[in-house]
Amino acid sequence: MKIVQIGLLGAVLAAALAYAGVGRPEPAHGSSPSTRSVKVSGSGSVEAVPNRAGFSFGVSSTAATAQAAVTANAAKAQRVIAALREAGVAKQDLRTEDVSVSRHWNEDGREDGFTAHNSMRVEVRSISSAGAIVDAAVAAGATETSGPSFDRGDRDALYRTALKAAFAEAKAKAETLAGEAGASLGAVLRIEETSQQDAPVPMYDRMAMAAEKTPVEPGTQEVEAMVTVTFSLA
C-alpha cells in the first residue's frame, strides 16, 4: 500500500515540475521575434541616341499557277537582296522573315491565280546609311517597307548603368527613412529587379519619294531599370 502511495506522489510531483517549466529547453541565444527593416523602391534611366535600325522589305507576285508566282517572286527577292548587299548590308544582317503563297481572287470574288510573298529583315548598323539602304531596296523592286525599329548595340551596358542609379536612389530613400525613425541603415536583406521597356522617341519621315535620300532620324531612347530593396535597421 505504501509503495503505491509513493509512486502516485512521484507522478504528481513530476507533473507539477513540468507545468512550472523545469526542464524546458531554452530559446536559441540572440533570437528575436522580428527584425526591423525598411523596404523602398528606386528607379534609374539612361538616355542614348540609337546606333542601329531594323527594317523589313517585301515583294509579291501574282500568276496563274502557284509555281509561276513563286518563281517570279524569287527573282524579285533576289534583286532586292543584291541591292541591299551592294548598299553595304552584311550577309549576317539579312534574314528571311516570310516565304508564302496563297490563292488570289479578283474584284468579282473569283479565284484567278496565286500570289507569292517574300519578306526580309535587315539590320542596319550605321544610322547614317539607313536612308540609302531604304532607297536601294525600293529602287530594286521592294513594294513593302516597314520600320525603323531603333536599338543600341550596347544596351546591356546601358541597362547596368540604369540599374546602379536605381539602387542608389533606393538606398538614399532608405537612409532618409531610417534617420527619421532614429535608426541607422543596416545590411541589404532582399533585392527585387523590375525592368521596363525602353521608351523610344524617334523622329522619322517614313517616305520622301523625291530625288533626295530618304531621311531617317533616330531621336533618343531611354533605357530604364527599377529595383525594390529591403534593408535591415540597426
CATH number reported for the structural domain that contains residue 202 in this entry: 3.30.110.170
Is the residue at 17 inside a domain?
no
Residue 195 pLDDT? 60
Residues 114 and 177 in one domain: no
Residues 79 and 167 in one domain: no
For the beta sheet containing 52-63, the strands, ordered from the edge strand earlier in sequence to the opposite edge, are 94-105, 111-124, 52-63, 144-151
Give the end of a domain, one of 125, 151, 177. 151
Q: Which residue has the cell 542614348?
A: 48
Number of domains the chain is built from:
2
Question: 33 or 82: which carries more pLDDT confidence?
Answer: 82
The three grid cell numbers given for residue 113, joined into one nine-digit string: 491565280
Residue 202 pLDDT? 41
Residues 6+ apart with CB under 8 A from 24: none
Question: 84 or 216: which carries more pLDDT confidence?
Answer: 84
Residues 6+ apart with CB under 8 A from 68: 114
pLDDT band at 34 (very low <50, low <70, confident <90, very high): low
Q: What is the pLDDT of residues 82-128, one digit of tens each?
A: 999 999 999 999 999 999 999 998 888 888 899 999 999 999 999 99
Domain that holds residue 129: 52-151
Predicted confidence (pLDDT) at residue 144 exceeds the cutoff of 70: yes
Residue 204 pLDDT? 36
pLDDT band at 79 (very low <50, low <70, confident <90, very high): very high
CATH code of the domain containing 110: 3.30.70.2970
